[in-house]
Amino acid sequence: MKLLASGVLISVVSNLLAAQALTHDHDVLLRRYREGEKLTYHMKGINERWHYEIQADGIVKKDLTGTYFEEYRWSNLISDDQKVELPTASLDFRQQLTLDPNRHSVFPDLSRIDRRLVGPVTDFMNFYVDLWLAEKTQKLAHAGDHFYLKHGKPNSWADGSYVLIGEDSIDFDLSLKDVNRSENTVILVIHHVPPEKPEVQLPADWMRKPVADTGNNWVQVQKMENGKYFAAVGNETFDVEIKTSLTDGKILAGKIDNPVETLGRECTDAALTECSDPKPHSIRRQIAIHLEP
């Protein structure tokens, strides 16, 4: 549903680069950091019936090894046209992201934040991880360049309390859509697609039957307030478009279109064996960010 665990991604890409010769000049995607630079992103999201807006304020920092990262704080959440006062722990939360090829983004502790922030935080990270991947592979330099990366390893957004299991399994289909030197912009497109053999954990036998024309690559188990469980399995795709600056590589804008076809059941036991009849459901998430002037 959300993102690739960046630690696993580093290992995958490192093996890839060791096995293949690099032939492209990859500077079109290179992030040129300036310590102390401030960035503010505005995010708008639609998650089924939930509409929201939120702001991420960041600053560029450099660690003791000389690698750069961006540190963000989240604020100004508007949920269904109502301003939300976030709890102190969420306001104090800091998210570290990077496009420095010698560093990887830190996966956040989702248990510390308001659950309404989980989607925005992980979606924001998704933009960075996808762009980092495109830069790190060094395979995209000219408009029309294309690269497919098999991954398949499960990626989690479970917070351990509300979402007990939340995983998807995807491969990456990357292409450089446009390099516009007159406007100094680059447009990167990343399709997250089901792998040939998805690797998500499916705790109940009824989850193994394919919901669509590929193996199920998405699963989520939530603990409900009434003590029951809601479990769903399905087929997910994930289309991401990112516009970056050709001058310094920063993200200027991005959008995500994330449809999921699911089959869900309400269950009375944690093993998900005593359940109601399955009900099909279509999930559609659409996310957009842009860098404020």
Number of domains comprising the chain: 1
Which residues does residue 175 pair with via DSSP β-bridges, in sequence order? 146, 189
| pLDDT at res. 21 | 39
Tokens linked to 159: 């917070």
Q: What angle do CA 168, 140, 32 make, to 5 degrees?
A: 95
Please report whether residue 237 resides in a domain. Answer: yes
Tokens linked to 235: 């087929």
Q: Are 114 and 162 in contact (CB under 8 A)?
A: no
| pLDDT at res. 159 | 82
Please report whether residue 1 resides in a domain. Answer: no
Q: Are 240 and 271 in contact (CB under 8 A)?
A: no
Which residues does residue 269 pair with via DSSP β-bridges, in sequence order? none
Phi/psi at 198 (5° precision):
-60, 150
What distance in Å separates the CA atoms of residue 131 and residue 250, rounded to the nearest whole number? 10
CA-nearest of 126, 189, 118, 201 to 157 is: 118
Each of the 293 residues of the chain gets a pLDDT tens digit; together they read: 444 344 444 444 444 444 443 444 458 999 999 999 999 999 999 998 999 999 999 999 999 999 999 999 999 999 999 999 999 999 999 999 999 999 988 888 888 899 899 999 999 999 999 999 999 988 999 999 999 999 888 988 888 888 999 999 999 999 999 999 999 999 999 999 999 999 999 999 999 999 998 899 999 999 999 999 999 999 999 999 999 999 999 999 999 999 999 999 999 999 999 999 999 999 899 999 999 99
Q: Which residue has the tokens 């096995």?
A: 19
What distance in Å separates the CA atoms of residue 44 and residue 53, rounded to the nearest whole number? 4
What distance in Å separates the CA atoms of residue 82 and residue 97, rounded to the nearest whole number? 28
Cα dist from 169 to 35, 92, 202, 264, whole Å: 35, 31, 12, 18
Beta pairing, strands 218-223 & 163-169: antiparallel
CA torsion angle 249 250 253 254 (round to 10): 80
Please report whether residue 18 resides in a domain. Answer: yes
The secondary element (H helix, E strand) that includes residue 136 is helix 118-137
| pLDDT at res. 26 | 54
Q: Which CATH number covers residue 127?
A: 2.30.230
| pLDDT at res. 3 | 40
Please report whether residue 96 resides in a domain. Answer: yes
Rounded to the nearest 10 degrees, the angle between the axes of helix 6-19 and helix 118-137 is: 10
Q: Are 260 and 218 in contact (CB under 8 A)?
A: yes
Please report whether residue 262 resides in a domain. Answer: yes
Show the domain range for 268: 6-291
Q: What single-letter amino acid sits at 173?
A: D
| pLDDT at res. 45 | 97
Q: What is the DSSP string of 14-71?
A: HHHHHHS---S--GGG-----TT-EEEEEEEEEETTEEEEEEEEEEEEE-TTS-EEEE
Tokens linked to 194: 């089901």
Tokens linked to 48: 């089924």
Cα dist from 122 to 213, 272, 280, whole Å: 27, 27, 26
